[in-house]
A and B are shown apart, each in its own frame.
Chain A
């Protein structure tokens, strides 16, 4: 073992390398046509809701009962469109988008064969999985912000802005209302962490991106249906979607934290359980695709 050969073979590893991989993962994800299409759909929801409310109330009447939370207040204050749009997209559009991106994360790469080249690069299985999960979580935040920003823009264009009334009946300034809107967006993004972990786990089980996406979205719908069946009330607190609408509690004065923290705890539980399952599966799996 000559010393010269040893030195020649050395390639120092930068400690920041993982961030390089994350950056590459983010650019790859956000340059996909599919990702952009999903974000476009999400951006379109507040536009449709805003226009619908505007048209319905153009004769001076107030919007009829029903519909997502806060919808009756939009005509008074455009900021409420942010809350309405998040309430309208959280049950389905947002988690579906997350399910597609998370389900595709590993299975899509396996399907395209690019997974084997990432692994022989070598990206490292744990690091790749962690990077993938981080990317999906960042996508949760990005998707939520797209809805919120689109809603805020449409709300500002179509309706008046100003001080607003909380659910508890107190007045808060517009600036504080904006702060609450940001908090709500963060709470909504955090509500999606469980779906993200579940989708990533499903993604490690199959070599087909489409199958993983379909399974994740299917699970999402199933859980939401089960959450409506009264006989299952003992199980329902463990459904990832059970506390989703707790974000509305951020509009109370003072804020009612009970369900919000339950929601965060539940999402963390899902992240730990399905994250570990995904790790156990992915680090021992034979990569034959």
Chain B
């Protein structure tokens, strides 16, 4: 804000029209020279203002997609638009509005943290050298690195490097932040700080595109998510809808598990599983209150009776038929 200078044609084209997605790809495809199909006909839509979780096992094509969005890799087929502009053609106009952390931070080990940021800021044609020092200091402060700013980057811990990488993405006010595994290498306290930071940025109106292998992290901060495996997009949409797609499980805690299991089956509960004093199963169509009444009427002593909400992980397993950490 506050930069109310005359509009330059090149930059005035970068704008968010009402309702226009921040990222939109059509049949985006990348086939590497070896013939390996890394991304296969991707139609991805990231709405403006969302915190968008990008999920998928290692090797599923997430990073290739991010690199195509950032103009680092030329697509084999299809188109990608970022902030309404075609990539990679409009990198000069688009990328000053985009902060990115791609596949972990990369730093000049022989430079201090502060000098690393100065170096990256000098590479941005839209960065004003007069405000450079102040912006670098603000970015360092924002990620909690002010005290270590003068230390050489090679002496940084993985978590500090990650923070410095984030600081580089925050050198300017951004319209879009692309964060690839931003909490990698951070301790739980650091993770919480980063999550808070992401929420703050999102509440300022920045769209955040977040790739992570930590499903609960996506669930905690993201409003939307997309799931990729083997180069294809399986699903995308608001997080609430995705997890709603996987049904929850009925959990009955009781000292009489055998009897409970029999009654539950009678009541139409599917896939009944007994483990110690817990009996779980797929909830029936009928009212759960009636199921509980049936249990009590049959003399089953019920300690607990709940439906465990499906997590994004359940949704993921339901979609891919495999565990999350299995490489595709």
Contacts and interface: CB of A to CB of B under 8 A. Distances in A.
A23 B111 CA distance: 15
A122 B125 contact: yes
B108 A7 contact: no
B60 to A, nearest CB: 16
Contacts, number: 128
B126 A120 contact: no
A234 interface: no
Nearest to A20: B122
A6 to B, nearest CB: 5
A21 B123 contact: yes
Given A20-B122, A113-B103, A121-B123, A11 B73 contact: no
Q: What is the interface residue range for chain A against chain B?
A: 35 or more
Interface string B128-160: 110000000000000000000000000000000
A284 interface: yes
Nearest to B20: A1
A117 B121 CA distance: 10
Interface string B59-101: 0000000010011111000000000000000011001111010
Contacts of B67: 116, 286-288
A121 B111 CA distance: 18
B262 interface: no
A12 B172 CA distance: 13
A231 interface: no
A128 B1 CA distance: 29
Interface stretch (B6-14, B191-199, B243-251, B271-279): B6-14
Interface string B1-34: 1011111100110111110000000000000000
B168 A117 contact: yes
B5 A12 contact: yes
Interface residues of B, number: 51
B72 A287 contact: yes
Interface stretch (A24-32, A63-71, A202-210, A261-269): A24-32
A112 B7 contact: no
Given A112-B106, A118-B123, A9 B15 contact: yes
Interface string B94-122: 01111010111011111100000011111
A61 interface: no
B118 A24 contact: yes
Given A28-B108, A287-B72, A9 B102 contact: no
A285 B223 CA distance: 35
A228 interface: no
B107 A122 contact: no
Nearest to A122: B95
A286 B106 contact: no
Contact of B72 (A12, A20, A119): A119
A7 B25 CA distance: 26
B189 to A, nearest CB: 26
A120 B4 contact: no
A29 B110 CA distance: 11
Nearest to B94: A122
A160 interface: no
B17 A10 contact: no
A107 B12 CA distance: 35
Contacts of B109: 112
B124 interface: yes
Contact of B126 (A13, A114, A288): A13
A11 B11 contact: yes
A222 interface: no
Contacts of B232: none
A118 B124 CA distance: 8
B74 A33 contact: no
Contacts of A2: 18
A286 to B, nearest CB: 4
Given A24-B123, A121-B95, A122-B125, A10 B5 contact: yes
B12 A6 contact: yes
B175 interface: yes
B166 to A, nearest CB: 12
A2 B7 CA distance: 13
A21 B122 CA distance: 5
14 contacts: A6-B7, A7-B4, A9-B11, A10-B11, A13-B125, A24-B122, A112-B107, A116-B70, A119-B72, A119-B91, A120-B95, A122-B124, A122-B125, A288-B72
Interface of A: 1-2, 5-14, 17, 20-21, 23-24, 28, 31-33, 112-114, 116-124, 128, 284, 286-288
Given A28-B108, A117-B123, 17 more contacts: A9-B175, A12-B5, A12-B8, A14-B129, A20-B122, A23-B122, A112-B108, A113-B104, A118-B123, A119-B70, A119-B71, A122-B92, A122-B96, A286-B67, A287-B72, A287-B73, A288-B72
